Structure 1
Amino acid sequence: MGSLRSKVIGPAGAHMIPEDDGPDGHQLTVVSDDGVVADGIAFTKITATLDINPIEDDDDDGAEDGVDDGRATWDSKLKFVLACIGSCVGLGNFWRFPYLCYKSGGGAFLIPYFLMLFVCGIPLLLMEMAIGQYTRRGPVGALLSLCPIFIGSAIGVVIICIIFCSYYNIIISWSIYYLTQSFRSALPWATQGLIETPSNCTANSSTQRYFDAVVLQKSDSIDDYGGMVWPLLGCVIVAWVIVYFSIWKSIRSSGLVVLVTATLPYVFILVFLVRAVTLEGAGVGLKYLFQPEWSRLLDVQVWVYAAAQNFNSIGIGFGSMITFSSYNKFSNNLLTDVWIIALVNAGTSLLAGIIVFSTMGNIAYELDCSITDIITQGPGLAFVAYPQALAKMPYPHFFAVLFFLLLIILGIDSQFATVEVIVTSLQDAFPTWIKKKLRRHEILAFLVCLFCFTLGLPNLFEGGIYYFHLVDYYSSAISLMYLAFFEVVAVVWCYGAERLSRNLREMTGKIPSLYFKYCWRYLSPSLILIITVMSWMDHKNLTYGQTLKGEDPSKALPYPTWAIALGWFIASLSIIPIPLCAVIMVYRAPGDTLWQKVKEASKPRVEECKKCGKSSHNPITPCHCHYVVTNCHEKVSPAVVSSVPRTSINPTTYVPPTGLLLAAQSELSSDEKNSSHDQLECELQQPSERQLQSEVPEKLDSPHPKL
């Protein structure tokens, strides 16, 4: 507790009496000469002494940098970084990136991949994390604050997350099923009988038949949907229980979970890396991965693949980075976090590529066929090709348990990050209703998990694998790029790259370089647009049946018309909110003309002071330009004080009555600095309306810590 001696302007003929309010604090009362408490309109200078209690942080209650807005914060920076890494590093690193390397020129693909990472992936990752940390809101709340007219893109993100959660847990359920079977005396997929032909090494393998006939119990087509696959139902329930208890306490529970789920996979990866590179034939596989085909760099499609892989892997447009960052402290150094997360994700993809291609080289060596006949992507790699290699390794049960446990952990990390986006967005959009009706975060998390589980039930039937591919193709491949494009337009063009840069300076004390600004304004939106156009040009009708490379193309089954229509309907669910919400926001905006309404609907709800440049979202150094402070010491912040029980008031949330304002800043004398109580003298002058209008805009660069 410190003592504050300050010159203030109080009501005419009044005096301020600091009253002891017990050990917790003191109060300041403005009393006129006749003993009546004054609201204070006419002011005169008097002197008063005031004891000030420092505002204490309470992270458990969501206090952040001295400001308690009811939102929790990460216990440590490590938990936040691990949560982001766990969200980024997923199954796609293992079954998508290696295949793209093989398909797009081997080692030559690494050039466009890393180039796109630096000009598109990292800048957009910084953008998403910045708006989350700055607004302390999820995707919906953040876009509503920065550019309300594009709130539909954030709603589309939530819809995509709901769809994604409904089928992504199915992959985890497959992994759980395989994990349980790995404890049997003999690996069941190694005993189904193997039919080997020179041109087809894997399509008729025991692992392929085991996956189709035993795990999926696959029907002949999507028209023959069959019955429920009960073992998978039990596995998916287990998966949802794990996800629920990972997020049921929000970041308090997920922060503990990621300490294991984001670190343990790297122990497994190291084990598999050592084992894979020592297998016979591993060199042949690595040759396919790293030997460059330089001519492929002239293929535009290769560059599109590189950009798309960066988007999908980092999770641009999924909302998870915005959500996790919204639980950061306002002053967290985002620039360091962005580089760590992006480079760890890229490095993991490279390690996964080495493991996969070393293993595929071993399979080709064992079966005496070309690696081009067995390399594949998606579930075919994880549940067909790789189990085939595990069955031939020494100690196959040990490596099988490690592998499927690795898939489960990677899947759980990505899944609960996506569920957290949904839960956080609902809390930000309907805080009062949720607090009144549901009362507890745990109930909301349970209802979200239950809803997504119900939506995913069609994947658990005998024809569910057809539905799985349909939803995955139309929700991820079609919709995600549209949402990412409008998100970038909303933040960078409507809200403004310069304003975003100033926000980053408020949080980190550093201004982003021209490199980030140029990427935000031009390169990133252009690349997203190019990817979208190229995806349309490369669009083909969805088929199922040619699971692996080398399988007879005539077996590919075209989806019926009704299924294609269903796919486009699923894709439209996340796209329609963009124009629909824009129309609603424009209609509700004030203005006499359409253009005025559009301008108002596009205007940010984050206000910046024209004098000091600070915004209404800054909890550390809030704007106090509604009054003038002279002779201020930069180590003491302004305080807004009125006749309230405590003087350690939150200046960003408390609005005092007109006239009862106090700002206290000044140079401390040497005697005062050495005293047991911090004493400071400052002169406050309440400006007139004319003074405010004539004030020359200037920047207050010195930060003002909390009292």
Structure 2
Amino acid sequence: MNKDTPTKDASISEFSKDEPKRSHWTGKLDFLLACIGYAVGLGNVWRFPYLCYKNGGGAFLIPYFIMLVCGALPVMLLEIGLGQYMSRGGLKSWVICPLFQGIGIATLLINFLCNTYYIVIMAWGLYYLYSSMSSILPWSHCQNEWNTNKCASTDEELLTRLCPSGGKSNVSERIEESLIYTNASLYTVHQNVSIANCSLGNIHPVDPVVEFWEKHVIQISGSIEDGGGLVPHLTICLLLMWIIVYFCVWRGVKWSGKVVYFTATFPYIILIILLIRGSTLPGAGKGIEYFLKPDFTRLKDAQVWVDGGTQVFFSAAIALGAMISLGSYNTFNTDFYKRTLIVASVNFGTSFLSGFVVFSVLGFMSHQQNVHIDQVAESGPGLVFMVYPRAVSEMPLPHLWSILFFFMLFLIGIDSQFVTVESFLAHVSDMFPRVLYKTKGRMILTTMTCVIWFAFGLSMVSRGGMYVFQLYDFYSASGMVLLWVAFWECIVIGWIFGAEKFYDAIELMIGYRITKWFYICWKYFTPLVTAGIFAFQVLGFKALKYNNVYEYPSWAEAFGLMLALVSMCCIPIYAGFKLLSLKGSMKERLRIATRPDLTTKQLSKDWVLQEDRLLVI
């Protein structure tokens, strides 16, 4: 057999000549900026700096970098390369091993769930951006209609309000909704408090930033079972966000590829401005010192390595199918290898830059309040929507810095959002290319999906919506789910299709051999890393609590687990159904189910077909 002209058989197919052509990026930077815009998200701003501080400062960079090189980067390269090689989105690309097309279904469902809740964060940020344009920042004082009589920035301010004349009084009252500031959030309790001789006793002041967030922005109810109706301003912001996303993706990748030129680059200008401003604040050096000061003893703690692994997978935005979709819009011979390395480097650098920006501000707050920095360092929405707004309210020109900060968040979040939407649309379009590759079909599909996502998101802009949001955030795209998908991706490419053949496929596309390191990772390191962290998370699993206090009812926990399992189960269930649908012995079924469906242009000259198997010679 001539190895230069492999023989056709059932494992080789030809696309129909009249099948509509798939769209491609129109500019050289479209793909690179789209990947950067997608991978660099809110997690770089609010999660990485906190984890770095929590897990030993500069020492945390060691496990983070190791997990990046051994785990996230190999999977990112695998996904982008697979998308380009198959020229299909996350669902159809897995015909490279038909037995595991359940991976594509799993990423499709994860994509759908992510698009449902991630945009709610953007709706919150949009409202903060709007509020930043008021004459006085509404979270900087206690004269708003939603403020309680316990709103105060300090104990002294609260004492002055309770005893304006400075006299002595005896007051006994029942405080119906005592809002206690714990871990940058609030919970409702009922307690009897005696205020004797104008002393505060057990009364704790509630910062106006906290009351603005809890009582005005999200208007949180007492439990998930108390929906409380929609919050009007958040409903409007959610609608506006979906309208913006629609017009970012409505005409396909040729249009969205141009939008990222602005949304992926301008945040860095704002970050640099905020860094310069933050570094000039009193106490900034103290904050940066806490951020970077290494505590190498923390490296003995397994949790540090788990945090490093989960964070790098989150920040790299892999195992969601979107990187496969972005790669699928490349031409077949695009040199994606070098661009993937650039994306990973920029992603790491952005996390590091964000750490400087955030901790310079936290150092300033520690200096202003004369408290230890660990009392102001928070993770998650608490950092973005409570800690930072409080900081800018204490700066000169607070409106300017507030607008810049929330506009940066808007840009960082919006490109991650519309790229995820683009990925979902690519999944679906590949199933019906004759209709959905056309502009009209694409616009109808985009409209329908945006309306559906908006409808699902309404549950998260109700007064009980924060509880629903946390369920989605904790379960639907959790570390366990992403690690599960990444593990099977490596098993399929590294062992079933074969890392050797995938190396040949990459050489066929870019014209040269890449480093052997990724071969080792796909076969050994990355599956071990993902399986190890997955097992650690499963064994250490704890039921979700809101603010570490509110315990979800059993039905809500069951719903959350369903959000995780609905995607994870797709992989084994699809594989089982695939084998049952075939005829013959189990060995024959496995041979047929793992036979790649390729076109002649995808076959390397170093492969031969032998007994329906592709072999490397």
Q: TM-score, normalised by structure 1?
A: 0.74
Which of 112, 125, 136 is equivalent to 2:87? 136
Aligned counterpart, 1:464: 465
The alignment partner of 2:101 has SS state of helix
Give the Cα separation in 2 of the matches to 1:378 and 1:213.
Answer: 19
Equivalent pairs, count: 545
Give the Cα separation in 1 of the matches to 2:239 and 2:220.
Answer: 20
Q: CA deviation at 1:595?
A: 2.4
1:503 and 2:529 aligned: no
Q: How far does the alpha carbon of each residue in 1:548-601 deviate from its partner, in whole angstroms, 9 at most, with x for none? A: xxxxxxxx1111111101111111211221122112221233x41122112211
Aligned counterpart, 1:600: 592
Give the Cα separation in 2 of the matches to 1:625 and 1:566.
Answer: 49
Paired residue type of 1:133: Q
Aligned counterpart, 2:477: 476
Aligned counterpart, 2:193: none
The 1:137–1:220 alpha-carbon spacing in structure 2 relative to 1, beyond 3 Å, is same
Q: CA deviation at 1:408?
A: 0.9
Aligned counterpart, 1:448: 449
The alignment partner of 2:91 has SS state of helix
Aligned counterpart, 2:602: 617
Q: CA deviation at 1:196?
A: 3.1
Give the Cα separation in 1 of the matches to 2:18 and 2:337.
Answer: 23
The alignment partner of 1:283 has SS state of helix
Q: Is the 8 A contact 2:505 2:602 kept in 1?
A: no
Paired residue type of 2:584: D
Give the Cα separation in 2 of the matches to 1:489 and 1:453.
Answer: 36
Q: CA deviation at 1:268?
A: 0.4
Give the share of equivalent positions with the same residue, in percent: 38
Aligned counterpart, 2:73: 122
Give the Cα separation in 2 of the matches to 1:435 and 1:408.
Answer: 29
Q: How far does the alpha carbon of each residue in 1:454-481 deviate from its partner, in whole angstroms, 9 at most, with x for none? A: 1111101100001100111011224222
Give the Cα separation in 2 of the matches to 1:435 and 1:345.
Answer: 31
Give the Cα separation in 1 of the matches to 2:106 and 2:268.
Answer: 33
Q: CA deviation at 1:202?
A: 5.9
Q: 1:279-298 counterparts in 2 under 5 A?
A: 279-298=281-300
Aligned counterpart, 1:521: 523
Q: How far does the alpha carbon of each residue in 1:135-183 deviate from its partner, in whole angstroms, 9 at most, with x for none? A: 1001111112x11111112111110111111111110000111111111
The 1:161–1:624 alpha-carbon spacing in structure 2 relative to 1, beyond 3 Å, is closer
1:576 and 2:569 aligned: yes
Give the Cα separation in 2 of the matches to 1:112 and 1:624.
Answer: 38
Aligned counterpart, 2:364: 362
Q: Is the 8 A contact 1:279 1:358 kept in 2?
A: yes
Paired residue type of 2:575: A
Q: How far does the alpha carbon of each residue in 1:424-450 deviate from its partner, in whole angstroms, 9 at most, with x for none? A: 0111123246579x9521111111111
Q: 1:638-649 counterparts in 2 under 5 A?
A: none
Paired residue type of 1:399: W
Aligned counterpart, 2:274: 272
The alignment partner of 1:456 has SS state of helix
Aligned counterpart, 1:82: 33
Q: Is the 8 A contact 1:147 1:604 kept in 2?
A: yes
The 1:392–1:143 alpha-carbon spacing in structure 2 relative to 1, beyond 3 Å, is same
Moved more, 172-181 or 575-584: 575-584
Q: CA deviation at 1:116?
A: 1.6
Aligned counterpart, 2:407: 405
1:172 and 2:122 aligned: yes
The 1:75–1:67 alpha-carbon spacing in structure 2 relative to 1, beyond 3 Å, is farther
Which of 156, 175, 183 is equivalent to 2:133? 183
Aligned counterpart, 2:147: none
The alignment partner of 1:139 has SS state of coil
Give the Cα separation in 1 of the matches to 2:541 and 2:569.
Answer: 20
The alignment partner of 2:152 has SS state of coil
The 1:600–1:329 alpha-carbon spacing in structure 2 relative to 1, beyond 3 Å, is same
Q: Is the 8 A contact 1:95 1:381 kept in 2?
A: yes
Which of 414, 423, 426 is equivalent to 1:424? 426
Give the Cα separation in 2 of the matches to 1:511 and 1:235.
Answer: 49
The alignment partner of 1:440 has SS state of helix
Q: How far does the alpha carbon of each residue in 1:238-273 deviate from its partner, in whole angstroms, 9 at most, with x for none? A: 100111111111111111100100011011001001
Aligned counterpart, 1:676: none
Q: Is the 8 A contact 1:233 1:460 kept in 2?
A: yes
Aligned counterpart, 2:539: 537
Give the Cα separation in 1 of the matches to 2:323 and 2:531.
Answer: 22
Q: CA deviation at 1:292?
A: 0.6
Aligned counterpart, 2:555: 562
Aligned counterpart, 2:207: 205
Q: How far does the alpha carbon of each residue in 1:397-448 deviate from its partner, in whole angstroms, 9 at most, with x for none? A: 0111111111111111111111111100111123246579x95211111111
Q: Is the 8 A contact 1:202 1:373 kept in 2?
A: no
The alignment partner of 2:602 has SS state of coil
Give the Cα separation in 2 of the matches to 1:433 and 1:337.
Answer: 32
Which of 232, 247, 250 is equivalent to 1:248? 250
1:107 and 2:58 aligned: yes
Provide the alpha-carbon RMSD of the alignment: 2.5
The alignment partner of 2:116 has SS state of helix
Give the Cα separation in 1 of the matches to 2:85 and 2:427.
Answer: 16
Aligned counterpart, 1:682: none
Q: CA deviation at 1:201?
A: 9.7
The alignment partner of 1:423 has SS state of helix
Q: TM-score, normalised by structure 2?
A: 0.84
The 1:394–1:533 alpha-carbon spacing in structure 2 relative to 1, beyond 3 Å, is same
Paired residue type of 2:86: T
Q: Is the 8 A contact 2:89 2:325 kept in 1?
A: yes
Give the Cα separation in 1 of the matches to 2:222 and 2:228.
Answer: 10
Structure whose CA Rg is larger? 1
Aligned counterpart, 1:196: 154
Q: Is the 8 A contact 2:89 2:426 kept in 1?
A: yes
Aligned counterpart, 2:579: 586
The alignment partner of 1:77 has SS state of coil
Give the Cα separation in 2 of the matches to 1:435 and 1:252.
Answer: 12
The 1:201–1:125 alpha-carbon spacing in structure 2 relative to 1, beyond 3 Å, is closer
The 1:298–1:442 alpha-carbon spacing in structure 2 relative to 1, beyond 3 Å, is same
**Structure 1 stretches lacking a partner, 5+ long:** 1-65, 547-555, 608-614, 627-691, 700-707
Q: 1:663-702 counterparts in 2 under 5 A?
A: none
Give the Cα separation in 2 of the matches to 1:624 and 1:602.
Answer: 16
Give the Cα separation in 1 of the matches to 2:284 and 2:371.
Answer: 14
Give the Cα separation in 2 of the matches to 1:116 and 1:345.
Answer: 14
Q: Is the 8 A contact 2:37 2:263 kept in 1?
A: yes
Q: Is the 8 A contact 1:187 1:397 kept in 2?
A: yes
Aligned counterpart, 2:22: 71
Q: Is the 8 A contact 1:154 1:487 kept in 2?
A: no
Q: Is the 8 A contact 2:607 2:616 kept in 1?
A: no
Paired residue type of 2:119: N
Moved more, 199-208 or 560-569: 199-208
Q: Is the 8 A contact 1:88 1:315 kept in 2?
A: yes
Q: Is the 8 A contact 1:422 1:448 kept in 2?
A: no
Paired residue type of 2:577: I
**Structure 2 stretches lacking a partner, 5+ long:** 1-16, 143-150, 157-180, 186-205
Q: How far does the alpha carbon of each residue in 1:328-379 deviate from its partner, in whole angstroms, 9 at most, with x for none? A: 0111111210111000010000000011111111111111111111111111
Q: How far does the alpha carbon of each residue in 1:105-125 deviate from its partner, in whole angstroms, 9 at most, with x for none? A: 110001111122122222221
Relative CO higher for 1 or 2, CA cutoff 8 Å, sep ≥ 6?
2
Paired residue type of 1:70: K
